Amino acid sequence: MIKEVIVVEGRDDTVAIRRAVEADTIETGGSAINQRILKRIALAQERRGVIILTDPDHAGERIRKIIANKIPGCKHAFIPEADATRKGDIGVENASPEAIRHALARVHTSYEGAPSLIDWEDLIEAGLIIHPQAAARRMEMGNILGIGYCNGKQFHKRLSVFQITREEFSGALAQIEREGM
């Protein structure tokens, strides 16, 4: 049984989570997240802790940001888009139990205002911004680090918020370079 309550977008996500692990969930009902749901999430965070596991798409990221901005200290789990896509549909409900367990094993806690351990120049040198393959490299790096895909500015912020160390960053960079990316 996972101690924290897992926040997902809908009923199908809850079904997928329960196929993978024993856990309680709160469903946001999609991107129209309201104050009643936010109060339930805040209470869950206070009592048991919260893991946000939303779809790896724009709407899922929007929900993640809303919750994280209103309720500090939430944990975050990310499923790579490739592991959450079936027949062109992207969502947690499409992920295998193994992909869900893998994401939950690599949970990150956000630390807003934490000092950045990785500089903007490091992202440039790593080809994660201002590079023809920057988006693809960020996607792969985000999957390796377990922080998801996002644009360059948001990627830099996530490295800071999740306190990704230089060693973790260097190891992930070496891995994508070994893979020829």
Could you tell me the sign of the dihedral formed by the alpha carbons of 57, 62, 67, 69, in that order? positive
Q: What is the pLDDT of residue 32?
A: 79
Write the CA distances from 87 to 61, 116, 118, integer angstroms.
Answer: 21, 38, 37
The H or E element containing residue 25 is strand 25-27
**Phi and psi for 127 in degrees, rounded to 5?**
75, 25
Distance CA 42, CA 72 (A): 9
Structure confidence at residue 110 as a pLDDT band (50, 70, 90): confident
Angle CA 121–141–58, to nearest 5: 100
Length of the chain: 181
Q: Which amino acid is at 108?
A: H
Q: What percent of the chain has pLDDT over 70?
A: 100
pLDDT tens for each residue of 112-163: 777 788 999 999 999 999 999 999 999 999 999 999 999 999 999 999 989 9
pLDDT tens for each residue of 2-12: 999 999 999 99
N- to C-terminal Cα separation, the chain? 38
pLDDT tens for each residue of 37-60: 999 999 999 999 999 999 999 999
Q: What is the pLDDT of residue 153?
A: 94
Structure confidence at residue 15 as a pLDDT band (50, 70, 90): very high
| pLDDT above 80 (res 111) | no
| pLDDT above 90 (res 1) | no
Q: What is the pLDDT of residue 30?
A: 79
Q: What percent of the chain has pLDDT over 90?
A: 88
Task: Give the mean model confidence (pLDDT) for residues 72-96.
Answer: 95
